[in-house]
Amino acid sequence: MTEPVFQWLEHSVEDRASKVEELGRLGFTWADLEDEEYWLDGVAVMRESIYRELEEASARLWAILDKAARYIYGRHDLYALLGIPEVLWEMLDTSPLPPPGLISRYARFDFAVDEGGSIKLLELNADTPTGYVEASIATPWVCRQTDIPTVNGRMPELVAAAWGEERPDTAACVDYGTHLEDSGTIEALVRHSGLDIEYADCLELTIDEGTVKDGKGRVINRMFALYPKEWMAVDEGGDALAYAVETGRLTLFNPPPSILLQSKGLIAVVWGMYELGFLFSGEEREAIAKYVLPTYNKPVFSGDFVSKSMFGREGGSVRMYDETGRLELEDEDGFDSSVLFPSVYQKRAELSRIQTSAGELHLLTGMFMINGQPCGLLGRGGGPITGNTSHFIAMGVR
Nearest CA to 124 out of 262, 2, 324 is that of 262
Cβ atoms within 10 Å of 256's Cβ, excluding its own: 26
pLDDT of residue 317: 83
Q: What is the arithmetic mean of pLDDT over 348-361?
A: 94
Give the pLDDT of residue 6. 97
Average pLDDT, the chain: 95
pLDDT at 252 exceeding the cut of 90: yes
What is the structure's pLDDT at 241? 97
Q: Distance (Å, rounded) from C-alpha 161 to C-alpha 356?
A: 37
Between 385 and 291, name the one with better pLDDT: 291
Spatial separation of the C-alpha atoms in residues 236 and 239, rounded to whole Å: 8
Least confident piece of the model among 82-91, 129-138, 312-321: 312-321
Altogether, the residues listed in the chain come to a count of 398
Please, are residues 195 and 167 in contact by the beta-carbon 8 Å criterion? yes
Q: What is the pLDDT of residue 315?
A: 64
**pLDDT band at residue 338 using 50, 70 and 90 as cut-offs:** confident
Q: For a pLDDT cut of 70, what percent of the chain falls above it?
A: 99
Is residue 83 within 8 A of residue 310, CB to CB? The reply is: yes
For residue 115, give the amino acid letter: E
pLDDT at residue 161, rounded to an integer: 98
Q: What is the pLDDT of residue 337?
A: 80
pTM summary value: 0.96
**Closest-CA residue to 292 (of 319, 273, 267, 315):** 267
Write the pLDDT tens digit of every residue in 30-52.
999 888 899 999 999 999 999 99
Residues 258-279 pLDDT 10s: 999 999 999 999 999 999 999 9
pLDDT higher than threshold 90 for residue 303: no
Tell me the percentage of the chain whose pLDDT exceeds 90: 89
Each residue's pLDDT tens digit, 193-207: 999 999 999 999 999
Rounded Cα distance, 355 and 333, in Å = 23
Name residue 42's beta-bridge partners. 10
